[in-house]
Structure 1
Amino acid sequence: MTYTVYGAAGSGSVPVEAVLTLIGAPYEVIEAVTWEGDAERDKVAPVNPMRQVPALITPANSEGIRETITESAAILIWLAEQHPEAALAPEPGDPRRAQFLRWMSFIPASIYSMFWVRDVPSRLGGDDPAAHQVIQKRTAERIAECWGVMDRQIAPGRWLLGDEMTVLDLYVAVASRWTPGRARFAEVAPRMAEVVARVDRLPELQAFWAERFPFEG
């Protein structure tokens, strides 16, 4: 019943690994630092033609079939549904469900997508260094703008959706460590900043954070 995660330290696989850690599910990681070049991306190609992480290989079902799931938000939602005992997602009919799905979709569509450009600016900027600088600046500004939009439209309690933690909290806690960084995140999303700091301090994840995404600040 072991999961396999294709991922890398500090990457989009980290919230997936964090969820598996919290629910106590056994898993192994195949390290693929895809932003370091084609050799690393090729490691993921057999399970994800997009050559991106994360990718999750599920345990074998009753017919011995292991399924592949890609896209971080889909993986997180699926894991929460497969392990309802962990209570990491509002169930259908829960008043929080609509906003949960809304923001779980917003992060990859509006924020995560920016890093496809940032990781390799030549994808859109060609060989022009000046264009690369513009791309880096404008994508950082766009990410900050989107965090601000989200912060103004949620009403967090102890966690982003109220009094119970969900995979959304883990997703934001990881993504907010990326560019433009937590200091900027705190400026544009002060209410969410309080929540992600709480996620950082979860006792159950201290050893995990130290290994997979060391962070100070």
Structure 2
Amino acid sequence: MYLLYGGPGNANLAPHAALQEAGLAEGSDYRFVKLDLKAGEHRKPDYLALNPHGVVPALVIEKDGSRQIVCEAAAILMHIADLYPASGLAPTPGSAERAAYYQWITYLTNTVQARFMNFYHADYFIDGSAGQAAVKAKADTALKEHFAHIDATLAKHGPYLLGDAFSAADLFLFMLTRWGRNLSRPARDFPQVGKHFERVLARPAVRRTLAIEGIS
């Protein structure tokens, strides 16, 4: 049994969709433990025992009497892909496609997701409304540059990040594109990024994930 802790649409969205893509059923194979982030449930002792940093997601793996905890969205996502190779979420280890897969997920989490922290949580980095507005504005500019790069790549090598093959990296991009709805140029307004979003959104596993998390 897996327990995936998170909040609707938060960084748990991509790994949650991976569980569904792998053919797991919520309630029998895993449970989505929905936390009220606005109420601070992710900072209460029970959750901090799972993830001392007080952020989501966290995946608890209970098997044969043992218990393992995996944190960080990208790590959980890649671990699920490796646990269920038949899902096709990750290319063959050692292949050129696998290297590109690692590169995309690392770029999306280390570079793009990090800028979203600046955009949505400028108060984490600087005090004062003027400084926070400046941090958010710079993040907005950087994120638009990143989505322009992704858009150009999809135009040349798409329809997915690895070409014709869908992978877990596309789930991560889908999640970030959704987060980009509040940019001065929404992420979905980039033509190929928007098409990619709709293509991933149409997948039954992704639609089930959104329904479970309560996202319309």
Q: How high is the TM-score relative to the length of structure 1?
A: 0.85
Distance 2:55 2:123 in 1: 17
SS at 1:134's partner residue?
A: helix
Residue identity (%): 24
SS at 2:93's partner residue?
A: coil
2:54 aligns to what?
A: 51
Aligned pairs (5 A) from 1:134-213? 134-153=134-153, 155-181=156-182, 184-187=186-189, 189-212=190-213
Larger RCO (alpha carbons 8 Å, 6+ apart): 2
Question: Quick one: structure 1 residues 180 and 133, their matched pair in 2 at CA, closer, same or farther if it must change by over 3 Å?
Answer: farther
Distance 2:163 2:153 in 1: 13
SS at 2:62's partner residue?
A: coil
Deviation at 1:165, TM superposition (A): 1.2
Q: Which runs of 4+ in 1 moved over 6 A?
A: none
Distance 1:161 1:181 in 2: 27
RMSD: 2.3
Q: What letter matches 2:144 in structure 1?
A: A
Contact 2:42 2:56 (C-alpha < 8 Å) held by counterparts: no
Structure 1: gaps spanning 5 or more residues = none
1:41 aligns to what?
A: 43
Describe the superposition over 1:103-128 as per-residue Cα deviations: whole angstroms up to 9, x where unpaired: 100111112123334443322221x1
1:14 aligns to what?
A: 13
Distance 2:202 2:79 in 1: 25
1:94 aligns to what?
A: 95
Q: Which stretch of structure 1 is more off in the superposition, 150-159 or 129-138?
A: 150-159
Contact 1:14 1:213 (C-alpha < 8 Å) held by counterparts: no
Distance 1:195 1:211 in 2: 22
SS at 1:30's partner residue?
A: strand
Q: What number of residue pairs does the alignment pair up?
A: 209
Structure 2: gaps spanning 5 or more residues = none
